[in-house]
Structure 1
Amino acid sequence: MLTLSRLTKRYAKGDAALTDVSLEVPAGQVVGLIGPSGAGKSTLIRCVNRLVEPTSGAVRLGALDVTALSRSGLRKARRRMGMIFQEYALVERLSVMENVLSGRLGYVGFWRAFLRRFPQADVDRAFAVLERVGLLDHVDKRADELSGGQRQRVGIARALVQEPDLLLVDEPTASLDPKTSRQIMRLIVEVCAERQLAAIVNIHDVALAQMFVERIVGLKAGRIVFDGPPDTLDAAALTAIYGEEDWSRTIRDADDADEGPDEADEEAPRAPRPAALGARAL
């Protein structure tokens, strides 16, 4: 379980990106993090793995207090936290396999990593995750030969090969077309269910979040203003998160998407959604 306790990030000039954020994400649950630009979504994700240092509060992964770790302890802890980036963060000139194996860098020595001589067990693990994400036929392709959706699948495979307990996902569909976006979100939800991974997905597309995740957390000005299942994200909740707007179309789009699967959905059925949590009025 991931536990955030009164997490706060304040920058040198005094601007608060996060204020007293408390959140629990159990194993196997995917949380969609929504909110306007500047609400603190990316900061929250980066505070969890301390790419951004919190000003105060605590981040715990199971019994481990991440915020109290030394530099060497943090390196080990980051093995347990897979990160998936909006812009993929791949090495373009390297092959798909080499990019995926970079997820094992925290487990091998410097020279093995430098020479890209990974243990056979790591190579076998990489083949297994590439098969799971549908890229087994692209193992030897360079990253710059892939489509956007394929690149994001490489990013997912790289995170999974770490064998993490937690996925931190920053705008995984921002650069993708609608069909590919659905396929990527479906894949993330399915692998989290299969591996019992906790996950936080920073996502701008509200309808897409409602379609796939079991819990939505809304941030506004660095504070949680909504926490509940997708079907409770009504016009009042969206107004609290984003401000006044006619939200009827957004809600209708999400409802329409849930009415039935498209052809792509039939090829890869949606993972069953666990029992919904009650909405939390904030």
Structure 2
Amino acid sequence: MLRLEKLVKTYRTGDQALKAVDLVVPEGQVLALIGPSGAGKSTLIRCINRLVEPTSGKVWLGDTELTHLSSGALRRERRQMGMIFQEYALVERLTVMENVLSGRLGYVGFWRSLTRKFPQSDVDEAFRLLDRVGLLAMADKRADELSGGQRQRVGICRALIQNPKLLLVDEPTASLDPKTSRQIMRLICELCAERGLAAIINIHDVALAQMFVQRVIGLRFGAVEFDGPPDALTPDVLTRIYGEEDWEATIRKVEDEDAEAAE
């Protein structure tokens, strides 16, 4: 579904953010990118949709190679990739509904987008999505009236209304409290399962990643250090990715959460 081949990103400073990364993400799989700050997690996500231009290598979405597309062709392919941002990236003065519908701007014509006149089918889908994430009653509220968790749910709706094949999720819980973080991760994973979506989630919280995703990619200095299931993240593996720490405490936290959920 998504395939990265020898993906490299080197900045003008000479810093190499990604070092020949190979990665295949099948349809419907939700994976987490973990690793220390500066490991290349956000760069990897942004190279996939070319918000950051790769230095070399290839990115394939299905049968389409994205790395050499013209700007017009890239805009069309970006419809297939929904992006959920750490800082929500909402337009504060617009309503929740208007922010969700902005996810359809790649599909409507210039004048419709300028006047925000969307087809009724798009409006109906926006209402369905808001209902699914528990925000139907807030459709007419301005974005700047919402809590952090509510804003992130709006961002999820905006990404899903594109009807994408792939979700790219950059630190969705970084600004949220622990309870809301779990709710947002659970929601993303449930929606991906319902829609058969693949997702790549850049996340700092190792325990949260272990609780929810099917696969974990550990990056260190721009290279893949680990690729496997969450339960294979042993203290030795986490030390390879992050360095020395009491990783037994992290693993116990996940085991305690799993036991609590089973009760």
Task: Sort the TM-score into its range (normalised by shorter chain).
Answer: over 0.9
> Which structure 2 residue ranges, 5 or more long, are not aligned?
none
Instruction: Give the alignment of 1:135-154 within 5 angstroms.
Output: 135-154=135-154
SS in 1 for 2:261: coil
- The residue type equivalent to 1:113 in the other structure is S
TM-score if structure 2 supplies the norm length? 0.98
Structure-2 separation of matches of 1:98 and 1:26: 32
Structure-1 separation of matches of 2:87 and 2:154: 12
- The residue type equivalent to 2:166 in the other structure is L
Match of 1:278 in 2: none
TM-score if structure 1 supplies the norm length? 0.92
Match of 1:36 in 2: 36
- The residue type equivalent to 1:83 in the other structure is M
Structure-1 separation of matches of 2:5 and 2:142: 42
SS in 1 for 2:8: strand
Cα deviations by residue, 1:107-133 (Å, 9 ceiling, x for unpaired): 011111111101111111111111111
Q: State the shift of 1:38 in Å.
A: 0.2
Q: Does 1:3 align with 2:10?
A: no
Structure-2 separation of matches of 1:192 and 1:223: 27
Cα deviations by residue, 1:180-211 (Å, 9 ceiling, x for unpaired): 10000000001111111110000000000000
Structure-2 separation of matches of 1:92 and 1:12: 34
> Stretches of 4+ moved more than 3 A in 1?
none
Match of 1:185 in 2: 185
Q: State the shift of 1:157 in Å.
A: 0.2
Q: Does 1:209 align with 2:209?
A: yes
Structure-2 separation of matches of 1:63 and 1:196: 18
Match of 2:54 in 1: 54
Tell me whether 179-188 or 241-250 shows the greater mean CA deviation. 241-250
Q: State the shift of 1:26 in Å.
A: 0.9
Structure-2 separation of matches of 1:196 and 1:64: 19
Q: Does 1:127 align with 2:127?
A: yes
Structure-1 separation of matches of 2:214 and 2:256: 17
Q: State the shift of 1:13 in Å.
A: 2.2
Instruction: Give the alignment of 1:1-282 within 5 angstroms.
Output: 1-261=1-261
Percent identity over paired residues = 72
Tell me whether 161-170 or 236-245 shows the greater mean CA deviation. 236-245
